[in-house]
Copies of this chain bind each other. A is one copy, B any other.
């Protein structure tokens, strides 16, 4: 059996149509179009899915008592240049995201900023010269 791998990341959302519009505005193409009540996108080597937050909590068997603050997980989109980081942040805010931290040089030798999606999930948009990107945007890690 292969090691644990990350196949899907599901964001529990308050307004499915709003979340779909945000991610489509950032270029993600919806798949599994027959699915209703959920949305699925290929977001590189992993699926990004959107599902009503209360239904996601119920499916996982957890209590969903608290909304709207940091949930402990950050998502990241790595870009090939600092200019692409800036452009992506601007597009995300134009699409309904909320700027969290302006892009700036980082202590690890790269450049990044943060934007929250319409449900508040933080996305870091980063350029990291130490983590190579393939032509299709796929990331790899050095040893």
Per assembly, the copies of the chain total 2
* Interface residues as binary, A113-140 with B (CB distance below 8 Å gives 1, 0 otherwise): 0101001011110100011010011111
Chain A residues with a Cβ closer than 8 Å to the other chain, count: 76
CA distance A122 to B51 in the complex (A): 15
Q: Which of A9, A56, A74 has the most CB of B within 10 A?
A: A74
Q: Would you call B6 and A141 a contact (CB within 8 A)?
A: no
> Nearest chain-B residue to A140 (Cβ)?
B42
Task: Decide: A78 and B7 in contact? CB cutoff 8 A.
Answer: yes
Q: 24 A-B residue contacts at CB 8 Å?
A: A2-B137, A4-B43, A4-B92, A6-B76, A7-B77, A7-B126, A7-B131, A8-B124, A9-B76, A10-B74, A10-B75, A12-B72, A32-B143, A45-B45, A46-B46, A47-B131, A59-B114, A60-B100, A61-B101, A64-B70, A65-B70, A71-B73, A72-B121, A73-B73
